[in-house]
Chains A and B, each alone.
Chain A
Amino acid sequence: MSNAAQILPPLAERHTLLGWARKNLFNTWGNALLTLLTGWLVLWSGRALLVWAFTAAEWGVIAANLRLILLGQYPIANVWRLWVSLQLLAFLVGNSLAIWGRNVRRISLALAAAPLLLALLPFGLQPRLWLAGLTFFGIVGWALGRPAGPRQRRIVLLGWAIWPFIFILLLRGLTPPEGRLPLVPTNLWGGLLLTFLLTVVGIVFSFPLGVLLALGRRSRLGAVRWFSIFYIEVIRGVPLITILFMAQLMLPLFLPSGLTIDRVLRAMVGITLFSAAYLAENVRGGLQAIPTGQFEAAYAVGLNGLQTMGLIILPQALRLVIPILVGQFIALYKDTALVAIVGLLDLLGIAKTVLAQPEFLGLQREVYAFISMLYWVFSYAMSYVSQRLEVSLGVGKR
């Protein structure tokens, strides 16, 4: 490829659009026909989409229900707690980008600008201030992360590990209603917030479980190995929705009488159990890629089995599979929509609530298109950022 690129094309083809088109799009009859056909398809569908989006669609339903779509029925008085955890997240992201993302300047800038652009939308004063805060804390984190040493890296990693728990704690609250951090019952959690929460919980809890299962599958102990294989293969052989139904209907039966867990928690258990099996298989792939010499060397320097795994094998194996894990977490984010089927009010579930309002009947296209777009934007952004970070870190390659 690089050789071919060095031989410059003739001037006429290099500089004019027409020359380029003639060489690439209309060089043979067949190709010209293909070009016309594809071009017609693109123009026709693009035009239909634009005409619908700008003339026929009634986007008022989104504007009127934006809060519901984003937060569900989370009480307004407590929304500041979500903002605080988001500020922390922005700080962590800025910090991490400064440490690891040296070559992804454009993404960093886009991330910093995104909240400011959102603040241009007609929100009230408070959301705008919070959004500006996101940019501010992101930049502060970035500035602090610039002269990073190994110690700071460890602190940032620790921050990532405890952030989900701070998020959940702030979201849920601690004290009775009259206290500083009143409890918010889970039936008020909804919308994008619930989708995010399910994703975060799924990632955080399925990770250790999945690593344990992967180790179990490679264990020398037959009983442990067979149990892990059985668990992984059964879970991978059935659809997520059956696991979610099992969690909703059978989990309460498994618990001793008197102990009940609420529906959101049940869905979390289901998602975690499901995701762990897939994660285990991915981690196993990484474990298998570690050469035996690494084990032998670890034993030779006198490490015991646990130390070998924890200090030598797992760090290398996990590093190898980071790209695959990111892909799996994106899939998990998209899969959380299934909790709508068991009646939770996540992003998809809340759409039904929005559409049930008498003044917004029949606007399925607008609502579901908007929700699809939300899923698309976050999923695309995650995969794009992770791909660029992988390139700049050389993850997955040695």
Chain B
Amino acid sequence: MQSAETQTAAIPIWRDERYLNLLGQAIFAVVILAAGYYLYRNMEAGLRRQGTTLGFGFIQGTSGFDIAETLFEYSRSSTFWQAFQVGLLNTLLVSVVGILFSTILGVILGVARLAANPLVRWLATGYLELMRNLSLLVFLVFWYLGVFLKLPKIKEAVIWPGPTFLTNRGIAIPWGVPTETFPAYRLILALGVLAAILIAAALHARGRRTGKPPLTILWAGASFVVVVVLGWFALPAAPLAWDLPYPEGLRIAGGKIFTPEFMALVSGLVLYTAAFIGEVVRAGIQAVSRGQVEAARAIGLTGFQTLRLVIFPQALRVIIPPLTSQYLNLAKNSSLAIAIGYPDVFYVSNTILNQSGRAVEMITLVMLTYLLFSLITSAFMNWYNRRIQLVER
């Protein structure tokens, strides 16, 4: 910096920032690679001492263990890979059901936090403070051991209308069983979806033409329901037969039985995540400035229209990114299933690990699975987020 001539003179190589950058990167890369190689060598030597090598060949071997809950045919003579898939599907099931219900409960909580009724507001705030400061794992264990396993025995089951049986062996509810007309009914369901799509498209087009925002979801949903209900009665026999649960000796027969593990995991995750989603929703609604509401009123929108056309779309923009991370948290937290014995992907992988002794492979596989899951979810939510973002001119 002393004079102008240093700038024109060639910079010596040891002070040229470009070379220094490259050198820095090279040194960093060498250090990281060397450290990685050193750890890998140690691992290889350690595995050799144990008498194994790396490789995924074992995954085709017979598993030799049972899984309590499976969504498809599985037995102890199936392969490790099939066991892994059972766990994967269970994780997906818990995540999807959990996300659905925690969104519903979360939105209710978020709106309740801003309700005009003080009692409702206090209740929602109290719930939030209670949940947000609990440790999820401790809560899940308490929920499972202290609530679901403390339900009465089957002989003394609590029976709610339905009938719904609450027992320590699970919760049984009435469930539809497909009859021979069910395949035909599937066509009607498809027809209903088609009708809904057509109506939505027509309404959307008319909305574009007239400038009047149509209630697309309401009408599309209604048309689907009409087709589906009409189809139910149009068929010669009902497509689903009502299967009622009833106690039979030491077990419950009929209906659909949800195990205590599944119920505790899903409801625990929902109760916990909903508190966080409630905060996200509240923040989103509050982020819409008062001026927007006043302006909407000034141009003559009704209360509901203001909510639907002005507040909600703007709140959604604020809500989506943190909501995504809550969904991902829920999916990742479902791995706590191992503490209460629900066979999700982590639990099953741990069993496979113990059976086969393949720690490195199984942990890598599980981590990759969760990573993939996170990547797909965030890719989808990013796409949705881009779609609803404000187009700035």
Interface pair B370/A238, CB less than 8 Å apart: yes
Q: Which residues of the other chain, A, contact B371 by a CB distance below 8 angstroms? A: 234, 237-238
Query: How many Å lie between the Cα of A246 and that of B135 in the bound state?
Result: 22
Q: Which residues of the other chain, A, contact B130 by a CB distance below 8 angstroms? A: 376
A365 close to chain B: CB less than 8 A: yes
A127 close to chain B: CB less than 8 A: no
A364 close to chain B: CB less than 8 A: yes
| Stretch from A73-81, A316-324, A336-344 forming part of the interface with B | A336-344
Interface pair B46/A242, CB less than 8 Å apart: no
Min CB–CB distance B286 → chain A (angstroms)? 13
Interface pair A365/B142, CB less than 8 Å apart: yes
Interface pair B135/A364, CB less than 8 Å apart: no
Min CB–CB distance B118 → chain A (angstroms)? 5
Contact with B along A99-128 (1 / 0, CB 8 A): 000000000000000000000000000000
Q: Which residues of the other chain, A, contact B142 by a CB distance below 8 angstroms? A: 364-365, 368-369, 371-372
- Give residues 216-258 of A contacting B (CB, 8 Å): 220-224, 227, 234, 236-242, 245-246, 249-250, 252-257
Interface pair A337/B359, CB less than 8 Å apart: no
Number of residues in A with C-beta < 8 Å to the partner?
54
B256 close to chain A: CB less than 8 A: no
Contact with B along A310-332 (1 / 0, CB 8 A): 00000000000000000000100
| Stretch from A32-40, A134-142, A175-183 forming part of the interface with B | A32-40
Q: Whose C-beta in chain B lies nearest to the C-beta of A24?
A: B118
B339 close to chain A: CB less than 8 A: yes
Interface pair A334/B134, CB less than 8 Å apart: yes
Interface pair A379/B133, CB less than 8 Å apart: yes
| Stretch from B37-45, B152-160, B177-185, B257-265 forming part of the interface with A | B37-45
Interface pair B136/A334, CB less than 8 Å apart: yes
Q: Whose C-beta in chain A lies nearest to the C-beta of B142?
A: A368
Number of residues in B with C-beta < 8 Å to the partner?
54
A41 close to chain B: CB less than 8 A: yes
Interface pair B145/A368, CB less than 8 Å apart: yes
B32 close to chain A: CB less than 8 A: yes
Interface pair A254/B39, CB less than 8 Å apart: yes
| Stretch from B23-31, B63-71, B74-82, B382-390 forming part of the interface with A | B23-31
Residues of chain B having any CB pair with chain A under 8 Å: 21, 24-26, 28-29, 32, 39, 42-43, 45-47, 49, 116-120, 123, 129-130, 133-139, 141-142, 145-147, 149-150, 332-333, 335-336, 338-339, 346, 350, 353, 359-360, 363, 366-367, 370-371, 374-375
A-B contact pairs, 12 of them (CB 8 A): A34-B119, A223-B28, A239-B346, A241-B346, A253-B359, A330-B133, A341-B336, A368-B146, A369-B146, A372-B135, A372-B142, A375-B133
